[in-house]
Amino acid sequence: MELEKIDAIKADVNSSEFKIDWSKMDAFSIERMGDHQSSYTVIGYFLTDENNVKHVHEWKFYCSQEQHNKLAKEFNNGVAKENNSPLRERSGPRRERK
10-58 pLDDT tens trace: 778 777 787 888 888 899 999 999 887 788 999 999 999 999 999 999 9
| Cβ atoms of residues 34 and 40 within 8 Å | yes
> What is the arrangement of strands in the sheet containing 26-35, beginning at the earlier edge strand?
26-35, 38-48, 54-61
| pTM (2 d.p.) | 0.69
Distances from the Cα of 54 to the Cαs of 21, 82, 98, in angstroms?
Answer: 19, 18, 38
Tally of CB atoms within 10 A around 12: 10
Query: So what's the pLDDT on residue 69?
Result: 93
Q: How far apart are CA 80 and CA 82, in angstroms?
A: 6
Q: Please state the domain extents for the chain.
A: 3-88
